[in-house]
Structure 1
Amino acid sequence: MGRMDDDIRPGRLLVATPLLEDPNFRRSVVLVVDHGQEEGTLGVVLNRPTEVEVGQILPPWADLLEGGGAAYQGVVFQGGPVALDSALALARITGADDPVGWRGLGGIPAVARIGLVDLDSPPSLLKGGVDRFRVFAGYSGWNAGQLRSEIEEGSWYVVPGEPSDVFGDDPDRLWQGVLRRQGGDLAFVATYPEDPSLN
């Protein structure tokens, strides 16, 4: 079921189990963007869109994908409870070369062309070479060893990520969708009621 520490790496998803009641992470799907034995783990929640437009907080980046039309493309997502006054962004690039201001997550073929964007660099460096872009306010972070103990306690499933998870247009159904495609016990967990006391 993917509970070993070496399964935690960039491109993996942390999917909250029904036991995780923390309102910041209840039914959340977190993309791991950085992980080190010493530094700990950093990720962003993929299924918490806000109503804040990218243009309200990062005007230069608002038109990077103008006219793209994908749902939720122009809104900021809440990446987690840490540093809500800061932003980080992910982009999927279309070319073979890595543009300046973009660092691939690597590690897993499905997310090989997805990476972190340096929001201090000029958006023009990425213009035309990106087909998906998403901004996150705040992030999710764990100290070294903290995430591993939460996984052992039964708070998280660790599963492979897919590009459609990162930039999907139906964040409300992401938790069920990711679990369902795992098959077996995890597919069954996807049917777990939102409020078990009503069952």
Structure 2
Amino acid sequence: MSNFKSLKGKLLIAEPSILNDNSFNRTIILITEHTKNNAVGFILNRPLNYLLSDLIPEISNDFTIYQGGPVEQDNLYFIHRVGDLIPDSIEIGNGIYWGGNFESLKFSLQSDLISNNDIRFFLGYSGWSKHQLDREIHSKSWFVSENDHENILSINDETIWREKLLQKGGNYKLWANAPSDIQQN
């Protein structure tokens, strides 16, 4: 595959055809790393019933924790827009960063330097081995979209998947209005 093109910074939109896949049904994933050997991303629209203070009691912020994906769900990850406050962050694109120095993060949170729209926390991540993501896109499990949001961290969890389908148009408009449990239709 000499024509490798990295999807880093782009969005993966779950195709309606994977409605029966509970891990990824109606998900939007931000790709944070994509090399010839692997890909990593985080589900942006799967809030969990945890707050940051539930997981890290010394941080009193009530930021929602999201399910990042099925891999390493006991690990906390974060993407953010404050790379200047958190050294060792990896720039993804569009002013979004991944990870960084955890002590700096804790200090910035405790000092109220980071707002809810600047950061999103995840338990677990979504990962793909060499060529796996390419195969899944080719088999119509996902379609790729530009991250054309001014701030992807402030998207509406409830409506983003539908919005992306409507934006793609065509037959996707029909699926955008389908009930989440297709058997209720």
TM class by shorter-chain length? 0.7 to 0.9
Alignment-derived partner of residue 143 in structure 1: 129
The separation in 2 between residues aligned to 1:181 and 1:55, in whole angstroms, is: 36
Query: What amino acid maps onto 1:116 in structure 2?
Result: W
Number of aligned residue pairs: give it. 177
Amino acid aligned to 2:9 = G
1:99 to 1:54, Cα distance in 2 relative to 1, 3 A: closer
What residue number does 1:50 align with? 48
Go from structure 1 to structure 2 and tell me whether the alpha carbon gap of 1:196 and 1:50 turns closer, same or farther (over 3 Å shift).
closer
Q: Percent identity?
A: 28
The offset of 1:196, in angstroms, is: 4.0
**Structure 2 match to 1:113:** 95
CA contact (8 A) 2:118 2:153 kept: no
* SS of match in other structure, 1:27: coil
**Equivalent position SS for 1:105:** strand
2:40 maps to amino acid: L
Q: 1:57/1:114 Cα in 2 relative to 1: closer, same or farther (>3 Å)?
A: same
- Equivalent AA in structure 1 for residue 96 of structure 2: I
Give the Cα separation in 1 of the matches to 2:66 and 2:126.
12
TM-score normalized with structure 1 length: 0.76
How far did 1:125 drift? 5.7
- Indicate conservation of the 8 Å contact 1:15/1:29, yes or no: yes
Amino acid at match of 1:47: N
1:74 aligns with 2:56: no
1:113-161 alpha-carbon deviations (Å, 9 max, x no partner): 1111225333236763765111100000010111111111111011111
1:59 shift after superposition:
3.5
- Runs of 4+ in structure 1 deviating by more than 6 angstroms, as ranges, are none
Q: Which has the higher contact order (CA 8 A, sep 6+)?
A: 1
TM-score (norm: length of structure 2): 0.82
In the alignment, structure 2 segments of 5+ residues that lack a partner are none
CA change 1:61–1:116 in 2 (3 A) is farther
Moved more, 22-31 or 188-197: 188-197
Q: Secondary structure at the match of 2:8?
A: coil
User: Residue 90 of structure 1 corresponds to which residue in structure 2?
Assistant: 79
Quote the Cα distance in structure 1 between the aligned partners of 2:67 and 2:60: 17
